Amino acid sequence: MTSIPTIPDQAQPSRRMGILLLLIVAIIDAAFMPLQIWPGDAQVWRLETRTFLQAGHLWIDPRIVASTVGEPGQYYDYNPADGQSYSKYGIANSLMAIPPVAAQLLISGNGPISLRTSALILNLWNLLLCLLLAAVLYRITRRYSPKPARRAFFVLACLFGTFLWYYQRAQGSEIYQLIFFALAYEFLLRGFERPRWFWLAWLFVALLLLTRVFFGILIPIFAAFIVGSAIAGRRPLRRILMPLLIPPVAMILLLGWINDLKFGSPWLTGYHQWRPEEHLLTGSWLDGVYGLLFSGHWSVFTYFPVLLIALPGMKKFTEEHRPDFLLILTTFVATLLVLGKIPSWRGEWSYGPRYMLFLLPIVSLPALTVDFGRARVWAFVAAAGLLFSLWLQIEVNRVDFWFFYQVQQPLDRLMDKETAQYFYDHQEGIIIHDLESHRRDLDGAFLFRHLRGQLPPERMEQYRDRVIRELDFSNFYW
């Protein structure tokens, strides 16, 4: 198995376009920094980081655990072996939080251990990660197009024409999951030519595994492609034996050691105390796979329209880059099938199908091979679709990170079929626009017209005030 060599391009134009791309990304991300710190999981692993930097251990102060809103095991796992509670999340998340947390400690001093971290510091750290992601994606696209402008446009379309923009602003793990997977993909392809690159590919798979145990699905996929590369290249298997066996065994042993340290057993992953059934392969493929592909509220195509633009380029991409396409297809299908079988496939209290996001820019690479000169109608449709998606992202980014849930949750027990369809058959940006366009007369919005008569007047007035408060909140830092 050999990969098609990188398409040559002129070094100077490519470098200049790369610099321009990074400048554009920096300006947009800096201008649209969020005011709000993304609530939830990320605050917990930053607390683990701060605890380690200040106290030298990973267990969390019991007083903080006791004061945390949420159910037992939702954010922290109790370890019966040592009687302490630990962050349930992968250790790589805490490692990636070291720069912003350390910066916070340098500025504010070694005060009491707490959840507090400056929004500005987190925004600046995210900005650096976004620039790194843009640079990595731009470098990868060199394999598939000699045109720097096209490559830069592809990266910008992924960053700002899809729900990835939300996760550039949210201070979670999605942004570095994208970086890790993109680098793992790049180094695996390089390894087809020079096996020494396989070691770096495994390094980034290990970082993904230590971010979320779900990424263990990449281990058999990457191993199979390493073996396939040796067979296709007529190389003796002994040349790839060490990079094939040592890294997977090492990362599994490392994960087991960390699990034993934090949770009391190498077989426990952190998701065993709070609703464990939601994290096992006990769900319905019909619900999960259909939802991730075709549902109005969770479809990868709805939230990442670059995938649709890539469809006409699949045939040419397959012909010119067959190993790359097989790797992309195998990873996408495996992720879809495994995730679709897990009841928590939606990744709730977030925006869009976030568990699929890590591979969507790579899956969209065939868009680079589409000949828009010959398919001008498709070019027009693609441009219109990207502009529409850009508008949706602006609608979502200007409000509370959890606007959808703030508006939907008060009606949770009152959901009839029409109300449920309103919330779950539409992209969130459309719901926000519908309510915003009726701000002066919310009774004219579909939701309020439908709720009339279902809620008593006092409850209706309270809900109206809540929606207006959410619409009035501006989630921009400047």
Q: Among candidates 175, 252, 245, which has minimal Cα distance to 206?
A: 252
CA-to-CA dists, residue 191 to 7, 30, 141, angstroms:
17, 36, 17
Round to whole Å and give the CA distance between 170 and 396: 12
- Distance in angstroms between the alpha carbons of the first and the last residue of the chain: 51
Buried b / exposed e across 314-332, counting CB within 10 Å, b at 16+? beebbeebebbbebbeebb
- Residue 273 makes CB contacts below 8 A (sequence gap 6+) with 72, 73, 77, 78, 88
- Is 249's pLDDT higher than 60? yes
- Is 102's pLDDT higher than 80? yes
Task: Determine the average pLDDT of the residues in 24-50.
Answer: 95
More confident residue, 109 or 384: 384
Q: Which alpha helices (DSSP H) does 354-455 contain, by range?
A: 360-363, 376-397, 403-408, 417-424, 428-437, 446-451
191 and 201 in contact (C-beta within 8 Å)? yes
Round to whole Å and give the CA distance between 228 and 225: 5
pLDDT tens sequence across 311-345: 999 999 999 999 999 999 999 999 999 999 999 99
Round to whole Å and give the CA distance between 85 and 82: 9
- Is 354's pLDDT higher than 80? yes
- Is 6's pLDDT higher than 60? no
- Residue 232 makes CB contacts below 8 A (sequence gap 6+) with 1, 2, 323
Q: What is the pLDDT, as a whole number, of residue 304? A: 97
pLDDT tens sequence across 111-166: 766 667 789 999 999 999 999 999 999 999 999 999 999 999 999 999 999 999 99
Domain ranges of the chain: 153-395, 402-472
Round to whole Å and give the CA distance between 251 and 159: 30
Q: What is the pLDDT, as a whole number, of residue 416? A: 86
Task: Determine the average pLDDT of the residues in 230-248.
Answer: 87
Q: What is the pLDDT, as a whole number, of residue 244? A: 94
Let me know how long the chain is. Answer: 478
Task: Determine the average pLDDT of the residues in 450-477.
Answer: 91
pTM, entire model: 0.95
- Is 370's pLDDT higher than 70? yes
Question: SS3 of 7, please?
Answer: coil
Give the pLDDT band of residue 234 (cuts 50, 70, 90). Answer: confident
Most confident of 322-331, 407-416, 441-450: 322-331
Round to whole Å and give the CA distance between 335 and 355: 9
pLDDT tens sequence across 182-204: 999 999 999 999 999 999 999 99
